[in-house]
Chain A
Amino acid sequence: MELLSQPWPWWAGGLVAGLTVPVLLVLGNKHFGLSANLRHLCAACFPARIPFFQYDWKKEAWNLFFASGIVIGAIIASTWLANPEPVQVAPQLAAELQGYGITDYSNMIPTQLVSWESLLTLRGFILLVVGGFLVGFGTRYAGGCTSGHAIMGLSDLQVPSLLATISFMVGGFIMANLVLPYILAL
Protein backbone atom coordinates (compact mmCIF):
# COMPACT_ATOMS: atom_id res chain seq x y z
CA MET A 1 0.00 0.00 0.00
CA GLU A 2 2.89 2.29 0.92
CA LEU A 3 4.46 1.61 -2.46
CA LEU A 4 1.19 2.22 -4.32
CA SER A 5 0.61 5.52 -2.52
CA GLN A 6 3.88 6.99 -3.73
CA PRO A 7 3.88 8.56 -7.20
CA TRP A 8 4.32 5.78 -9.76
CA PRO A 9 7.27 5.91 -12.14
CA TRP A 10 6.80 6.88 -15.78
CA TRP A 11 7.09 3.30 -17.01
CA ALA A 12 4.10 2.22 -14.90
CA GLY A 13 1.93 4.87 -16.51
CA GLY A 14 3.27 3.95 -19.94
CA LEU A 15 2.64 0.27 -19.26
CA VAL A 16 -1.06 0.82 -18.56
CA ALA A 17 -1.46 3.29 -21.45
CA GLY A 18 0.24 0.82 -23.83
CA LEU A 19 -1.67 -2.22 -22.56
CA THR A 20 -4.92 -0.37 -23.18
CA VAL A 21 -4.37 -0.92 -26.91
CA PRO A 22 -4.46 -4.76 -26.84
CA VAL A 23 -6.96 -4.90 -23.97
CA LEU A 24 -9.58 -2.91 -25.90
CA LEU A 25 -8.84 -4.80 -29.12
CA VAL A 26 -9.11 -8.22 -27.51
CA LEU A 27 -12.13 -7.34 -25.39
CA GLY A 28 -14.18 -6.25 -28.37
CA ASN A 29 -12.25 -5.02 -31.40
CA LYS A 30 -12.28 -1.47 -30.02
CA HIS A 31 -9.77 1.21 -30.90
CA PHE A 32 -8.34 3.32 -28.09
CA GLY A 33 -9.36 6.97 -28.45
CA LEU A 34 -10.77 9.10 -25.67
CA SER A 35 -11.60 12.35 -27.46
CA ALA A 36 -14.24 10.45 -29.46
CA ASN A 37 -16.31 10.54 -26.28
CA LEU A 38 -16.68 14.31 -26.66
CA ARG A 39 -18.25 13.69 -30.04
CA HIS A 40 -20.48 10.92 -28.69
CA LEU A 41 -21.71 13.29 -25.97
CA CYS A 42 -22.55 15.86 -28.67
CA ALA A 43 -24.34 13.21 -30.71
CA ALA A 44 -26.25 12.04 -27.65
CA CYS A 45 -27.15 15.43 -26.17
CA PHE A 46 -27.07 18.17 -28.85
CA PRO A 47 -27.02 16.64 -32.35
CA ALA A 48 -28.90 19.72 -33.69
CA ARG A 49 -29.34 18.21 -37.16
CA ILE A 50 -25.61 18.57 -37.79
CA PRO A 51 -24.53 15.74 -40.12
CA PHE A 52 -21.36 15.15 -38.12
CA PHE A 53 -23.44 14.10 -35.14
CA GLN A 54 -25.93 11.91 -37.00
CA TYR A 55 -24.84 8.42 -36.10
CA ASP A 56 -25.79 5.76 -33.63
CA TRP A 57 -23.77 6.91 -30.62
CA LYS A 58 -25.18 4.03 -28.57
CA LYS A 59 -22.92 1.69 -30.53
CA GLU A 60 -20.01 3.65 -29.08
CA ALA A 61 -21.35 3.45 -25.53
CA TRP A 62 -18.45 1.19 -24.61
CA ASN A 63 -16.16 4.25 -24.79
CA LEU A 64 -18.39 6.21 -22.43
CA PHE A 65 -18.19 3.27 -20.02
CA PHE A 66 -14.42 3.39 -20.36
CA ALA A 67 -14.38 7.14 -19.62
CA SER A 68 -16.68 6.62 -16.64
CA GLY A 69 -14.25 4.02 -15.36
CA ILE A 70 -11.46 6.60 -15.57
CA VAL A 71 -13.44 8.95 -13.33
CA ILE A 72 -14.04 6.13 -10.81
CA GLY A 73 -10.37 5.10 -10.96
CA ALA A 74 -9.33 8.68 -10.27
CA ILE A 75 -11.68 8.80 -7.26
CA ILE A 76 -10.13 5.58 -5.93
CA ALA A 77 -6.57 6.81 -6.51
CA SER A 78 -7.16 10.16 -4.84
CA THR A 79 -9.15 8.72 -1.93
CA TRP A 80 -7.20 5.62 -0.91
CA LEU A 81 -3.87 5.95 -2.70
CA ALA A 82 -3.23 9.67 -2.27
CA ASN A 83 0.33 10.83 -1.86
CA PRO A 84 0.55 13.16 1.16
CA GLU A 85 3.79 14.76 -0.05
CA PRO A 86 3.83 17.90 -2.22
CA VAL A 87 4.20 17.37 -5.97
CA GLN A 88 7.82 17.31 -7.12
CA VAL A 89 8.42 19.77 -9.93
CA ALA A 90 11.51 20.63 -11.97
CA PRO A 91 13.32 23.50 -10.20
CA GLN A 92 13.39 25.68 -13.35
CA LEU A 93 9.62 25.32 -13.69
CA ALA A 94 9.03 26.11 -10.01
CA ALA A 95 11.20 29.22 -10.34
CA GLU A 96 9.28 30.39 -13.40
CA LEU A 97 5.86 29.70 -11.89
CA GLN A 98 6.76 31.55 -8.69
CA GLY A 99 7.00 34.70 -10.78
CA TYR A 100 3.32 34.25 -11.65
CA GLY A 101 2.29 33.61 -8.06
CA ILE A 102 1.91 29.86 -8.47
CA THR A 103 3.39 28.45 -5.31
CA ASP A 104 0.96 25.75 -4.19
CA TYR A 105 2.29 22.24 -4.92
CA SER A 106 -0.13 20.35 -2.68
CA ASN A 107 -2.02 19.08 -5.73
CA MET A 108 -1.11 17.94 -9.25
CA ILE A 109 -3.62 20.49 -10.48
CA PRO A 110 -2.49 23.96 -9.37
CA THR A 111 -5.35 25.35 -7.29
CA GLN A 112 -4.14 28.89 -7.98
CA LEU A 113 -5.01 28.35 -11.66
CA VAL A 114 -7.63 25.62 -11.70
CA SER A 115 -10.34 26.51 -9.19
CA TRP A 116 -13.74 28.21 -9.10
CA GLU A 117 -12.12 31.42 -7.78
CA SER A 118 -9.60 31.35 -10.61
CA LEU A 119 -12.35 30.80 -13.16
CA LEU A 120 -13.65 34.29 -12.38
CA THR A 121 -10.29 35.87 -13.24
CA LEU A 122 -9.26 36.62 -16.81
CA ARG A 123 -6.26 34.28 -16.49
CA GLY A 124 -8.32 31.37 -15.19
CA PHE A 125 -11.09 31.94 -17.71
CA ILE A 126 -8.67 31.88 -20.65
CA LEU A 127 -6.87 28.75 -19.41
CA LEU A 128 -9.99 26.74 -18.56
CA VAL A 129 -12.67 27.92 -20.97
CA VAL A 130 -10.62 28.88 -24.02
CA GLY A 131 -8.11 26.09 -23.40
CA GLY A 132 -10.87 23.50 -23.08
CA PHE A 133 -12.52 24.75 -26.25
CA LEU A 134 -9.26 24.43 -28.20
CA VAL A 135 -8.82 20.88 -26.88
CA GLY A 136 -12.27 19.84 -28.07
CA PHE A 137 -12.13 21.67 -31.39
CA GLY A 138 -8.55 20.64 -32.16
CA THR A 139 -8.85 16.96 -31.29
CA ARG A 140 -11.90 16.50 -33.47
CA TYR A 141 -10.36 18.52 -36.32
CA ALA A 142 -7.29 16.30 -36.02
CA GLY A 143 -9.43 13.16 -35.78
CA GLY A 144 -8.03 12.10 -32.44
CA CYS A 145 -6.05 13.07 -29.38
CA THR A 146 -3.06 11.75 -27.49
CA SER A 147 -4.69 8.34 -27.05
CA GLY A 148 -6.14 7.91 -30.55
CA HIS A 149 -3.19 9.28 -32.50
CA ALA A 150 -0.12 9.24 -30.25
CA ILE A 151 -0.73 5.84 -28.63
CA MET A 152 -3.15 3.89 -30.85
CA GLY A 153 -2.18 5.43 -34.19
CA LEU A 154 1.57 5.23 -33.62
CA SER A 155 1.23 1.65 -32.32
CA ASP A 156 -0.33 0.79 -35.67
CA LEU A 157 2.47 2.72 -37.46
CA GLN A 158 0.04 5.17 -39.08
CA VAL A 159 1.81 8.07 -40.77
CA PRO A 160 -1.12 10.53 -40.35
CA SER A 161 -1.01 9.81 -36.62
CA LEU A 162 2.70 10.63 -36.55
CA LEU A 163 2.00 13.96 -38.26
CA ALA A 164 -0.82 14.63 -35.81
CA THR A 165 1.38 13.78 -32.82
CA ILE A 166 4.14 16.08 -34.05
CA SER A 167 1.54 18.82 -34.50
CA PHE A 168 0.26 18.31 -30.94
CA MET A 169 3.78 18.75 -29.62
CA VAL A 170 4.52 21.79 -31.78
CA GLY A 171 1.30 23.43 -30.59
CA GLY A 172 2.15 22.62 -26.98
CA PHE A 173 5.69 23.97 -27.27
CA ILE A 174 4.44 27.21 -28.84
CA MET A 175 1.81 27.71 -26.15
CA ALA A 176 3.96 26.77 -23.14
CA ASN A 177 7.03 28.75 -24.18
CA LEU A 178 5.76 31.67 -26.24
CA VAL A 179 2.15 32.39 -25.29
CA LEU A 180 1.50 30.99 -21.81
CA PRO A 181 3.93 33.42 -20.09
CA TYR A 182 1.68 36.30 -21.20
CA ILE A 183 -1.48 34.52 -20.04
CA LEU A 184 0.03 33.59 -16.67
CA ALA A 185 1.17 37.19 -16.18
CA LEU A 186 -2.44 38.45 -16.42
Chain B
Amino acid sequence: MAEVQVTEPEIPVLSPETDFEVRSLDTMCINESQLQHPWWHNLKYLVWGIIFGIAFVKAEIISWFRMQEMFRLQSFHMYGVIGTGVAIGALSVWLIKKFKIKTIYGESIEFHRKKFNKGQVIGGLIFGLGWAMTGACPGPLFAQIGTGALVVAVPLLSAIAGTWAYGYFRDRLIH
Protein backbone atom coordinates (compact mmCIF):
# COMPACT_ATOMS: atom_id res chain seq x y z
CA MET B 1 0.00 0.00 0.00
CA ALA B 2 1.36 3.39 -0.97
CA GLU B 3 2.17 5.71 1.87
CA VAL B 4 0.15 8.84 2.04
CA GLN B 5 2.35 11.92 1.88
CA VAL B 6 1.27 14.71 4.12
CA THR B 7 1.66 17.81 2.02
CA GLU B 8 0.16 20.25 4.43
CA PRO B 9 2.96 22.38 5.94
CA GLU B 10 3.38 21.79 9.61
CA ILE B 11 3.51 24.63 12.03
CA PRO B 12 6.40 24.06 14.43
CA VAL B 13 5.33 23.54 18.00
CA LEU B 14 7.27 24.66 21.06
CA SER B 15 9.02 21.83 22.80
CA PRO B 16 9.04 21.68 26.59
CA GLU B 17 12.86 21.96 26.62
CA THR B 18 13.00 25.24 24.78
CA ASP B 19 9.73 26.67 25.95
CA PHE B 20 10.59 29.15 28.64
CA GLU B 21 7.22 30.71 28.76
CA VAL B 22 4.17 29.06 27.36
CA ARG B 23 2.10 27.92 30.31
CA SER B 24 5.18 27.70 32.46
CA LEU B 25 6.97 30.93 33.14
CA ASP B 26 5.16 33.70 31.45
CA THR B 27 2.75 36.02 33.08
CA MET B 28 0.16 34.84 30.63
CA CYS B 29 -2.35 32.86 32.57
CA ILE B 30 -0.86 29.48 33.21
CA ASN B 31 -3.83 28.08 35.04
CA GLU B 32 -5.99 25.95 32.82
CA SER B 33 -9.59 26.00 33.82
CA GLN B 34 -11.80 23.06 32.95
CA LEU B 35 -14.81 25.30 33.14
CA GLN B 36 -16.23 26.84 30.04
CA HIS B 37 -18.00 30.14 30.36
CA PRO B 38 -19.88 32.28 27.88
CA TRP B 39 -17.84 35.29 26.71
CA TRP B 40 -19.69 37.78 28.89
CA HIS B 41 -18.13 36.21 31.98
CA ASN B 42 -15.04 38.14 30.90
CA LEU B 43 -16.88 41.39 31.57
CA LYS B 44 -15.96 41.11 35.25
CA TYR B 45 -12.32 41.62 34.25
CA LEU B 46 -13.39 44.64 32.21
CA VAL B 47 -15.09 46.09 35.30
CA TRP B 48 -11.97 45.69 37.42
CA GLY B 49 -9.96 47.10 34.52
CA ILE B 50 -12.12 50.25 34.67
CA ILE B 51 -11.43 50.67 38.40
CA PHE B 52 -7.74 49.99 37.73
CA GLY B 53 -7.64 52.51 34.88
CA ILE B 54 -9.27 55.25 36.94
CA ALA B 55 -6.85 54.65 39.83
CA PHE B 56 -3.80 54.61 37.55
CA VAL B 57 -4.74 57.92 35.98
CA LYS B 58 -5.75 59.62 39.22
CA ALA B 59 -2.74 58.39 41.22
CA GLU B 60 -0.49 59.64 38.38
CA ILE B 61 0.99 56.20 37.69
CA ILE B 62 0.63 57.02 33.99
CA SER B 63 2.64 60.24 34.38
CA TRP B 64 5.83 60.55 32.34
CA PHE B 65 7.06 63.00 34.98
CA ARG B 66 6.48 60.56 37.86
CA MET B 67 8.62 57.93 36.10
CA GLN B 68 11.42 60.44 35.62
CA GLU B 69 11.23 61.40 39.32
CA MET B 70 11.40 57.74 40.29
CA PHE B 71 14.50 57.04 38.19
CA ARG B 72 16.19 60.18 39.52
CA LEU B 73 15.24 59.50 43.18
CA GLN B 74 13.43 62.84 43.25
CA SER B 75 10.14 61.61 44.65
CA PHE B 76 8.83 58.85 46.89
CA HIS B 77 5.55 58.60 44.96
CA MET B 78 6.20 55.60 42.67
CA TYR B 79 8.12 53.72 45.36
CA GLY B 80 5.06 54.19 47.57
CA VAL B 81 2.77 52.87 44.82
CA ILE B 82 4.86 49.78 44.08
CA GLY B 83 5.65 49.16 47.76
CA THR B 84 1.98 49.34 48.79
CA GLY B 85 1.01 47.18 45.83
CA VAL B 86 3.51 44.46 46.72
CA ALA B 87 2.58 44.59 50.43
CA ILE B 88 -1.14 44.17 49.72
CA GLY B 89 -0.49 41.61 46.99
CA ALA B 90 1.81 39.56 49.23
CA LEU B 91 -0.65 39.64 52.13
CA SER B 92 -3.43 38.53 49.77
CA VAL B 93 -1.39 35.67 48.32
CA TRP B 94 -0.44 34.56 51.81
CA LEU B 95 -4.10 34.60 52.92
CA ILE B 96 -5.20 32.73 49.78
CA LYS B 97 -2.60 30.02 50.41
CA LYS B 98 -3.17 29.87 54.16
CA PHE B 99 -6.95 29.53 53.99
CA LYS B 100 -6.99 27.74 50.63
CA ILE B 101 -9.40 30.31 49.27
CA LYS B 102 -11.12 29.22 46.08
CA THR B 103 -12.29 31.16 43.05
CA ILE B 104 -15.90 32.29 42.77
CA TYR B 105 -16.44 29.16 40.66
CA GLY B 106 -15.12 26.92 43.43
CA GLU B 107 -11.83 26.06 41.71
CA SER B 108 -8.65 26.03 43.73
CA ILE B 109 -6.23 28.88 43.13
CA GLU B 110 -2.85 27.79 41.81
CA PHE B 111 0.61 29.28 41.98
CA HIS B 112 3.61 28.18 39.95
CA ARG B 113 7.25 28.72 40.71
CA LYS B 114 9.03 30.73 38.06
CA LYS B 115 12.34 29.33 36.89
CA PHE B 116 15.32 31.62 36.59
CA ASN B 117 16.64 32.33 33.13
CA LYS B 118 19.05 35.03 31.95
CA GLY B 119 16.25 36.67 29.99
CA GLN B 120 14.81 38.03 33.19
CA VAL B 121 17.97 40.11 33.65
CA ILE B 122 18.81 40.94 30.01
CA GLY B 123 15.20 41.52 29.00
CA GLY B 124 14.60 43.34 32.27
CA LEU B 125 17.41 45.79 31.52
CA ILE B 126 16.06 46.35 27.99
CA PHE B 127 12.58 46.96 29.31
CA GLY B 128 13.97 49.38 31.91
CA LEU B 129 15.62 51.44 29.18
CA GLY B 130 12.35 51.64 27.26
CA TRP B 131 10.32 52.34 30.40
CA ALA B 132 12.33 55.49 31.15
CA MET B 133 12.02 56.63 27.50
CA THR B 134 8.29 56.22 27.03
CA GLY B 135 7.55 56.98 30.68
CA ALA B 136 5.14 54.08 30.64
CA CYS B 137 5.13 50.37 31.21
CA PRO B 138 2.54 48.29 29.33
CA GLY B 139 -0.42 49.02 31.66
CA PRO B 140 -0.02 52.80 31.53
CA LEU B 141 0.43 52.62 27.73
CA PHE B 142 -3.19 51.47 27.53
CA ALA B 143 -4.30 54.08 30.07
CA GLN B 144 -2.48 56.97 28.37
CA ILE B 145 -4.39 56.30 25.16
CA GLY B 146 -7.62 56.46 27.19
CA THR B 147 -6.73 59.91 28.50
CA GLY B 148 -6.87 61.16 24.93
CA ALA B 149 -3.17 60.97 24.07
CA LEU B 150 -3.93 59.01 20.92
CA VAL B 151 -0.32 59.29 19.75
CA VAL B 152 0.54 56.72 22.44
CA ALA B 153 -0.95 54.19 20.03
CA VAL B 154 2.44 54.54 18.29
CA PRO B 155 4.57 53.31 21.24
CA LEU B 156 1.92 50.65 21.89
CA LEU B 157 2.13 49.38 18.30
CA SER B 158 5.90 49.62 18.57
CA ALA B 159 5.77 47.52 21.75
CA ILE B 160 3.66 44.93 19.92
CA ALA B 161 6.30 44.94 17.18
CA GLY B 162 8.99 44.50 19.84
CA THR B 163 7.12 41.53 21.30
CA TRP B 164 6.80 40.07 17.81
CA ALA B 165 10.52 40.57 17.19
CA TYR B 166 11.27 38.74 20.43
CA GLY B 167 9.11 35.84 19.28
CA TYR B 168 10.90 35.81 15.93
CA PHE B 169 14.46 35.89 17.31
CA ARG B 170 13.74 33.92 20.46
CA ASP B 171 15.74 30.82 19.59
CA ARG B 172 18.84 32.90 18.89
CA LEU B 173 18.72 34.84 22.15
CA ILE B 174 20.50 33.94 25.39
CA HIS B 175 18.18 32.54 28.01
Contact = CB atoms under 8 A, between A and B. Distances in A.
A30 B69 contact: no
Interface in B18-36: 20-23, 25-33
Interface string B102-134: 011101111101111101111111111111111
B52 A71 contact: no
A62 to B, nearest CB: 5
A149 B158 CA distance: 21
Interface in A87-141: 87, 89-90, 92-93, 97, 105, 107-110, 113-116, 118-119, 126-141
Contacts of B41: 28
A147 B124 contact: no
Q: Helix, strand, loop or mixed for chain B's interface?
A: helix
Contacts of A1: none
Interface residues of A, number: 137
Contacts, number: 578
B57 A138 contact: no
Interface of A: 4, 7-42, 46, 48-55, 59-63, 65-78, 81, 87, 89-90, 92-93, 97, 105, 107-110, 113-116, 118-119, 126-161, 163-177, 179-180, 183
Given A14-B88, A69-B45, A134 B107 contact: no
A53 B168 CA distance: 9
Contacts of B96: 22, 25-26
Interface residues of B, number: 133
Given A126-B133, A164-B121, A10 B154 contact: no
Interface in B65-107: 65-72, 74-78, 80-90, 92-93, 95-96, 101, 103-105, 107
Nearest to B95: A22
14 contacts: A19-B88, A25-B103, A68-B49, A77-B57, A93-B69, A108-B57, A110-B65, A134-B133, A136-B160, A136-B164, A140-B123, A141-B124, A160-B114, A168-B131
A129 B46 contact: no
Nearest to A118: B151
Given A51-B13, A110-B64, A35 B138 contact: yes
Nearest to B155: A132
Contact of A141 (B67, B143, B166, B168): B166
B168 to A, nearest CB: 6
B60 A108 contact: yes
A22 B97 CA distance: 11
A83 to B, nearest CB: 8
